[in-house]
Amino acid sequence: MSKALVVYHSATGHTKKMAIAIGEGIKNAGLDVEVKSVDNTSLDDLIAADAIILGSPTYFGTVSNKMKAFIDKSTKIWPNQPGELKDKIGAAFTSCADVAGGSQMTLLSLIQAMLWHGMVIVGHQLGFSGAVSIEAPDKDCIAECRQFGERIAIFVKH
């Protein structure tokens, strides 16, 4: 069975809540899914997944240093080498404090890293580059994250 991996960094739990909701959506759509903190995620976990969904809080208008360090480490999985991430499905999400706080930059940075690996990106169902929450996700945002997960699963299956 295809497997999705949701990897998040979250200092105060907001991005983690989004990660769990996206994971629920993926599971509801019938895919195997694992939701992991970036601290517990290995490069082998990335290689084993058919879809990788990355989430980070927005720090100074971009990804947090923890997520960036993980992304930098992922370059050990070199494109065109065994275990490459090419053609895997990718998607991104972030939590930030303010509507103009740079969430889009965070999403695009996460997406850029996945494009570097040759991954295929699934955007948000409403046409945005990924899922965004202002601080803790409210009920509507949780529902949107679940739908985002379901949408990602459609592309993994086909």
- Interface with ligand FMN by CB under 6 A: which residues? 10-16, 57-61, 95-98, 101-102, 135
Least gap, CB of 93 to ligand FMN (angstroms): 10
The residue (of 87 and 135) whose beta carbon lies closer to ligand FMN is: 135
Q: How many CB atoms are located within 10 Å of the residue 48 CB?
A: 12
Least gap, CB of 15 to ligand FMN (angstroms): 3
The rounded distance, in Å, linking the Cα atoms of 93 and 58 is 10
DSSP 86: T
The residue (of 5 and 141) whose beta carbon lies closer to ligand FMN is: 141
The rounded distance, in Å, linking the Cα atoms of 147 and 152 is 9
Least gap, CB of 68 to ligand FMN (angstroms): 13
The residue (of 141 and 156) whose beta carbon lies closer to ligand FMN is: 141
Of 30, 14, 32, 29, the closest CA to residue 6 belongs to 32
Residue, CB closest to ligand FMN? 101
The residue (of 47 and 108) whose beta carbon lies closer to ligand FMN is: 108
* Sequence-separated (6 or more) residues with CB below 8 Å from residue 127: none
Least gap, CB of 80 to ligand FMN (angstroms): 34
The rounded distance, in Å, linking the Cα atoms of 136 and 141 is 9
